[in-house]
Amino acid sequence: MRQCPVCGSDLIPKFASECEPPVAWSCVECGLLQLESGGRRFTAEEEAAIQAIAPQVASERRAVGSHPPAARQAREIFEAFGGEVPLDVEGLAERLGYPVRWQALPPSTRGTVGGDAGHPILLLNRDFPFRTDVERRWAIVEELAHAVLGHGTLVASEEPGQPPQMHEPVRQIREREAKVFAAELLMPAASVRQAFQREQDIILRALGGDERSQAIRTVIADLAREFKVSQQAMRIRLTELGLLT
């Protein structure tokens, strides 16, 4: 029996046909759905089965409780496999079974999830103009989010034989979830609060609006360096956590 890489629960095999190997594995505890292609393209029958399996997994998940949100899954992964900031994103991805590889991808694509269900990998575009290391780190964690949250399974082919395309509303939901996951994994709420408490005297000692604005910028820059994220990401995170008003 396989174990879920997110919550450690047993995964349940899902079949397109009783006489064939499983096409997917599901976790009723956290809702993860992993595809099992065996390194080949799915048949039309298998693709139809996968489309039917996804809502079944959602129903099973609801039967045992609500789906842990992306932030909770990220927090559990951080505590189980990371535990320190700045996070070793490539090392963590490797430990979760999603090694990072570089490959030529379409020009506007930063990264994607590749491989197959048995050997998944995170692909980064070797030709993408990453401006900073923190941008590259964020891209890795967003792709890791898509992998561990089971994104990419709710897709639909418009025509037989055409590559499956994800409908826009579903894509937007998946992207929001990936960003929430990335924020919690790179900037865990508890760690950010602790670091901010250590630095907040800089803000409290500031006199006047201009001095306070400069103090806030200083604290944001300090924490961004500590967590190896962009200053914009750190400002958004501090605001989300109610630490900046």
- What is the rounded distance in angstroms from the CA atom of residue 236 to the CA atom of residue 162? 39
206 shares its domain with 127: no
89 shares its domain with 164: yes
* Domain closes at, from 147, 164, 186: 186
60 shares its domain with 74: no
Query: Model confidence over 57-85: pLDDT tens digits?
Result: 655 554 444 445 788 889 989 988 867 89
118 shares its domain with 175: yes
- What is the rounded distance in angstroms from the CA atom of residue 229 to the CA atom of residue 241? 16
Q: Which two structure tokens, joined as six digits, stand for 28?
A: 């009723």
82 shares its domain with 62: no
82 shares its domain with 137: yes
138 shares its domain with 206: no
Cα separation of the two ends of the chain: 49
Nearest Cα to 70, choosing from 181, 174, 187?
181
**pTM (2 d.p.):** 0.67
Consecutive H or E run containing 46:
helix 44-64
3-class DSSP assignment, residue 103: strand
- What is the rounded distance in angstroms from the CA atom of residue 138 to the CA atom of residue 122? 13
Q: What is the CA radius of gyration of the chain?
A: 20
The answer to whether residue 245 is domain-embedded is: no
* Domain closes at, from 68, 84, 118: 68
φ, ψ for residue 14 (rounded to 5)? -120, 135
Q: Which two structure tokens, joined as six digits, stand for 82?
A: 């990371």
83 shares its domain with 150: yes
* Strands, E assignment, the chain: 12-14, 24-26, 33-35, 100-103, 111-115, 120-125
Domain count of the chain?
Answer: 3
163 shares its domain with 115: yes
Query: Model confidence over 3-51: pLDDT tens digits?
Result: 666 666 667 777 777 667 777 777 766 667 777 766 667 677 877 777 7
The answer to whether residue 143 is domain-embedded is: yes
φ, ψ for residue 23 (rounded to 5)? -100, -10
76 shares its domain with 161: yes
For residue 196, give its domain range.
Answer: 189-240
Sorted by sequence, the CB contacts under 8 Å of residue 88 that are 6+ apart come out as 82
Residue entry with tokens 């595809």: 35
The answer to whether residue 178 is domain-embedded is: yes
Q: For the domain that residue 161 is a member of, what is the CATH number?
A: 1.10.10
- Residue, of 118 and 193, whose pLDDT is higher: 193
32 shares its domain with 141: no
Query: Model confidence over 128-184: pLDDT tens digits?
Result: 999 999 999 999 999 999 888 877 533 333 333 444 444 556 677 888 889 999 999
118 shares its domain with 181: yes
Which residues face 122 on adjacent strands? 100, 113
